[in-house]
Amino acid sequence: MHIGGSTALVGGGASGLGAATASRLHAAGAHVVIVDQNEERGSALAGELGDRATFVPADVTDPEAVQAAVDVASEQPVPLRIAVSCAGIGWAGRVVGRRGAHALEPFETVIRVNLIGTFNVMRLAAAVMVQNEPTEAGERGVCVNTASIAAFDGQIGQIAYSASKGAIVSMTLPAARDLAPLGVRVCAIAPGTFDTPLLAALPEESREELRRVVPFPSRFGRPEEFAALAQHIIENEMLNGEVIRLDGALRMPPR
């Protein structure tokens, strides 16, 4: 898929992995529609990128709000061919902890944002993509979703987050199979510990420990490295139905 001459919708595109991806795709020539709840950051990024960048405020779990963002993407001068979902939240809690059973509401919220929000963006964007004129190779679009190594190596207290990301892993292949006859590819990236606002909230001692256990390179991943992989997936038409770990060979210990 050629990025130049395509419109890309980036869910959770105002910060972290999403902002880096939006910036890289814009630099590669895409018209970028940044979708996020954070209006201040989203508007600032769109202003920084300038021409070919638009911000649309939306909660990724809201069907009407995401449809409105997809409509904006569809109105761009070039077809909506790329959708990247990066919106996500975390929550720490054991199945049974000192205060009793894990509260149900935060579990439901994490599933709703991370999993249902991702599916919501993918389904609505793909519904537009399948109407595109195919490329010479028969492609009409590409969806890139964000999983996590927590899907495979969930730590103590990560039950909600791991469940949400594991579901993204599990839906990658069936989504790719569903959309393959229509010329739309689906892949997911499972990042390890990346230097994003989610990790920035941790105490420095915890951050140092997380950096130390990465085999090589022994540091946090950079959002730009996630964006580079997203670009490669978009441009490599043989990548389909795959989940790619991006983690410096990290396998998370139990705690």
> Which of 55, 161, 194, 220 is flagged as catalytic?
161
d(CA 187, CA 147): 10
Q: Which residue's entry shows tokens 């490669």?
A: 232
Q: List residues bridging with 7 in a β-sheet.
A: 31, 80
| DSSP result, 169-187 | HHHHHHHHHHHGGGTEEEE
d(CA 95, CA 73): 41
Spatial CB neighbours of 40, under 8 Å, sequence gap ≥ 6? none
Report residue 36: phi and psi, to 5°: -165, 160
Catalytic status, residue 161: yes
Contact yes or no for 49/33 (Cβ under 8 A)? no
Q: What is the DSSP letter of 78?
A: S
| Cα 210 versus chain centre, distance | 21
d(CA 16, CA 200): 10
d(CA 168, CA 255): 23
- The three-state secondary structure class of 220 is coil
Q: Which residues are catalytic?
A: 161
